[in-house]
Structure 1
Amino acid sequence: MTAFLYPRGCRPIQADNLFVVASAYHLILAHLLARDTAVAPGTSALLMKHQPVTSFPELYDAVQADPGVPFQAVYFLDRPGRKYKRRWRALIDKTRAAGMRRVAKGVSPRRLFIFNEDDLNQYAARILRRRQAEIIAVEDGAIAYIDQRMTSSPSERFKSRLLFGPRTKAVEVEGASSNIDRFYARFPARVRPELRRHVVGLPASDLDFFNTMAWPADYVQRVGATLEDLSADVLFMLAHRNNFKGHDGYARVIRQAVAEHAAAGDEVAVSYHPREREADWLDLTALGAKLIPHAVPSELVYLAGRGSIRRVYGDIGTALITAKWILPDTPAVSLMRSLDIHDDKLAGLFESLDIERR
C-alpha cells in the first residue's frame, strides 16, 4: 500500500525535522529553514507531495540529484493523473495516506514542518503528535494576511473523515487550528488575527545560497526550458482568470500595460497561472511579449532573474509578495486599482511592502 512512495521500496531513515512541501514556494522556504540551526536543529528530511500544477516528478528528480540540498533524505509521494476513474480515487487517497504514514513513522521527527493543513498533513500531524513531535506551520502566501476562508461541502468533509479518520477537520484558516504549535510568517505583524497567538517571524533569508544549488537550473532543463526563456526586463505575473469573472476591463488593462512596455523596447515576459488551460488567452504574444513556460513556477523565474528583472507587474496574487521577498530592490506594481479591486487587507500589505498600486 505504498505504491506511490519514492524511492521505491525505501525505508525512511530517522531525522530530527521533516518538511512536507507541495509547491516550489514551499520548497524554497524549506531549504532556508532547514539550514537555520535555530529553527531546525539536527538533521532534516524532505517529503515532496505531487501537485498537478507543477511538474513535480521532474522537480523531485532534480532535488534528489543535487548533493548540496540541506536534507539527508528526499522522498516523493506521487498522485496519478486524470486517467484514473473516479471510483479509484478513494483507493489512491488511501494509498497516499499509507505512504504518508510510512514516512512519518520512519522519519519519526521531533519537528514536523507543513505549509497547509490539508487532509494528508493533518494525518501526519496526528501521527507525530502522539510521538510528542512539535507541529510547525509555515505561511503559504497571501492567504496568511487576508480575510479569505476555505470552504468545503458536507460530502467533501464526509469523504475526508472516511479516508483519513474521524478527527480530520475542515480547516477554514490554514495554520490556525489547535494542532499547530508555531506559525512562521515573513511579515508577522501583518498576519490575520486567527494566527497571531503563535506567530513567529521567519529568519532572515540568504537567497544567495541558491546560487550554489544545482537543482533549479536542472529542473528548468528537465521541463524543456532554458534560462534564456526566463530572462526579461519586465515580468507580468498573472492570477487565474476565474479571479476576474465579470470584470470586463481585465483584458484591456493587462494588454495596455504589456503593449506600453513592448513599444518602449523592453523585453516583456508573461507568466500565466499554471492552471490556465489556454496557453495565451489574452493574446499577449501578438503584442510582443514572450511566454514563461507553464511548468516553471514564479519563484524559479525570480531566482533566475535576480539582477536582470527591472520591474514586476501583477494583480492580486501571491506572486507580487514573493517578488518583494526574492527581488527586494525591484519595483513591483499591482494593477488592482486599474482593475477596480478593493481589498483593504491586501492593500495595506502591499503598501507596507512598497508595492505600488495603480
Structure 2
Amino acid sequence: MKNNVIYMPSTPLNVMVSLAHATAHKELQNAYLVLIDQKNVDNNPYYNCLKQSELFTEVHILPGMAHGKEKLAERSRNFQQIKQWCERWRPAEILVGSDRRVEFQYAMSVSQQWGSTGAYLDDGLYTYAGKPRAWYKDPLNSLIKKIAYGWWWKEPVTVGASSWIQTAYVFQPTTVVDELKQKECRKLQPEWFLLPDIKAMTYLILEQFDFSDSAIEDLSKIDLLLTFPHPNDIDLMQGYRNRVEQFLERANDKGLNVAVKYHPRMAQADEWSLQQRFNIAVLPSNLAFEFLLPFLKSNMIVLGDVGTVVMTAKWLRPDLRTMAVLNGNDAYASQFRPVMNKLGISLIDSFHEAIELER
C-alpha cells in the first residue's frame, strides 16, 4: 500500500525540487501538493501548471498576502484548510523547502497523531552556509510565534534543523552545515531533474511566461547568462551596478550573445534599462532560473554571486561553465567565498574575467 505524502513548496526552486522528488518516487507514494505563502493566487503560473500534472492526486494553493492584523486572520483561515486536508490525507511524510514556514509546522503538529515525519528539500545557500542568527532575536521571535500561533512552533537554528525534520534531501550531503548532518541526509540525484515528467512541466511553465517556440530556441543561443542577486545584496556590494554596466558594454563590443536575469524582488521588469542600452536579452525575473537550465547550450557561461543560482547550475547542468563573481576586496562578497569553494564552484574576482574565457 502506498503512503500519502504532502509537498509544501513556497518558491519556484521548491517547486522544481518537489517535482523531481515526486517524479522519482511516484511508484511508492500518493502525492499531494499545497503551494504555500503565495502573493498571487488568482493567476499563479506555477499553480496553473502543477494542476495539469498527473504526479499529484490533488494540488492546492494558499495565500500569503496579508499584513499586520490581517496576517493573523489569513493564517488562521489557512490553518483551518490545512487541518482539513491533513485529516483527509493522513500523510506519512510532509516535505518542505523551509521548516520556518508556519504552514508546514502547523501541518506537522496536526499530523503527529498519524506518526507523520518531516523532510527538508534543499533550498540552496543556507543548506551549506547556515543562517546568521542573533542570540536575542531567535528566542524572542520563537516566543512571539508561540503566543500568536501555538506552542507547537519550533524555531530552527538554521533552515531544515528543527526537530520537525527527520530527513534532508540535499544535493551535496557531505558539505551541509553541522545542524543538518544530525538528520538522515539523502542525495538529490541530478538525473531526477532530467526525467520526462520534469521536461514536460518545464515546457508548460515557459508557456505560462509567454515563451514562444522561437523564444525557447533563442535560449540555446545565449553565450553568457548573468544573474543578479537580491536587491539587499546588491546594496551591500559597493559599485555593483557600475561594474555590471561596464561589463555589458565590453561584452557587447566583443559580440557576445548575453542575457540577464534580475532577481524576482526587483521592482521593474528591466530595472536598470539594460535591454535598450546594451541590446541584450532580459529574461522574466519571476521565472525560476532552474526552469531555464534544460534549454541552455552546453559550455555556455553562467555568472552569479551570493545566491543559489550558481549552485543549482553546477548541480543540474555540470556541462555549463558556472562561476561566482566574488571580489576578494569586497567585505560582503568575500564572506561567501569559503562556502562556494567548499561546494566546488569556480570563483572569479570580476565580471571581465568571464569575457577572457570566451576569447
Using the size of structure 2 for normalisation, the TM-score is 0.83
2:183 is the alignment partner of 1:198? yes
Secondary structure at the counterpart of residue 274 of structure 1: coil
C-alpha change, 1:203 and 1:333, in structure 2 (3 Å) is closer
Equivalent residue in structure 2 for 1:319, among 305, 309, 314: 309
8 Å CA contact 1:235–1:268 kept in 2: the answer is yes
- Structure 1 residue 179 corresponds to structure 2 residue 198: no
Deviations 1:83-136 (A, max 9, x none): x66432221111111122222222111111111112111111122223211211
What residue identity is the alignment partner of 1:100? I
Counting only pairs closer than 5 Å after superposition, residues 251-270 of structure 1 correspond to structure 2 as 251-270=241-260
Counterpart residue number, 2:263? 273
Q: 1:74 to 1:105 in 2, by over 3 A?
A: same
Q: For the residues of structure 1 that align with 2:241 and 2:318, how far apart are their CA atoms?
A: 28
Percent identity among equivalent residues?
Answer: 18
Size of the aligned set, in residue pairs, is: 337
2:118 corresponds, among 130, 135, 138, to 135
RMSD: 2.9
Task: Judge conservation of contact 1:250–1:339 (CA < 8 Å) in 2.
Answer: no
1:239-258 Cα shifts (integer Å, max 9, x gaps): 01211325332112222332
Q: Give the letter for the 1:208 counterpart.
A: L
Letter of the aligned partner of 1:73 in structure 2?
E
Alignment-derived partner of residue 26 in structure 1: 14
* 1:9 match: none
What corresponds to 1:337 in structure 2?
327
1:17 to 5, 16, 21: 5
Aligned position for 2:203: 217
Distance 1:22 1:261 in 2: 36
Q: Greater share of helix residues, 1 or 2? A: 2
The Cα offsets for residues 30-88 of structure 1, whole Å up to 9 and x where unpaired, read as 12222334x98322222211433899722111121234xx2222222234x4xx66432
Task: Tell me which residue corresponds to 2:291.
Answer: 300
User: Which structure 2 residues correspond to residues 1-358 of structure 1 after superposition, within 5 A?
Assistant: 16-37=4-25, 41-52=28-39, 57-67=44-54, 70-79=55-64, 81=65, 86-117=68-99, 118-149=101-132, 157=142, 159-206=144-191, 207-210=193-196, 213-226=199-212, 228=215, 231=219, 232-285=222-275, 286-305=277-296, 307=297, 310-337=300-327, 340=330, 341-343=333-335, 346-350=337-341, 352-358=343-349
Gaps of 5+ in 1: 1-13
2:285 aligned counterpart, secondary structure: coil
> How far apart in 2 are the matches of 1:212 and 1:184?
18
Question: 1: distance between equivalents of 2:272 and 2:184?
Answer: 40
Moved more, 206-215 or 192-201: 206-215
> Any conservation in 1 of the 2:41–2:61 contact (CA below 8 Å)?
no
Give the distance between the partners of 1:350 and 1:260, measured in 2 at CA: 28
| CA shift for structure 1 position 273 | 0.7
Q: State the alpha-carbon separation in 2 of the partners of residues 274 and 251 from structure 1.
A: 17
Amino acid across the alignment from 1:87: K
2:354 counterpart residue number: none
Letter in 1 for 2:23: R
Q: Which amino acid aligns with 1:294?
A: S
Amino acid at match of 2:59: V
Rate the CA distance shift 1:356–1:123 in 2: closer, same or farther, 3 A.
same
Contact kept, 8 Å, 1:62 with 1:216, in 2: the verdict is no
- Residue 177 of structure 2 aligns with an amino acid whose one-letter code is R
Q: Distance in 2 between matches of 1:212 and 1:141?
A: 19
What 5-or-longer segments of structure 2 have no aligned partner? 350-359
**Contact residue 155 and residue 162 of structure 2 kept, 8 A:** no
The 8 Å contact of residues 33 and 40 in structure 1, kept in 2 or not, is answered as: no
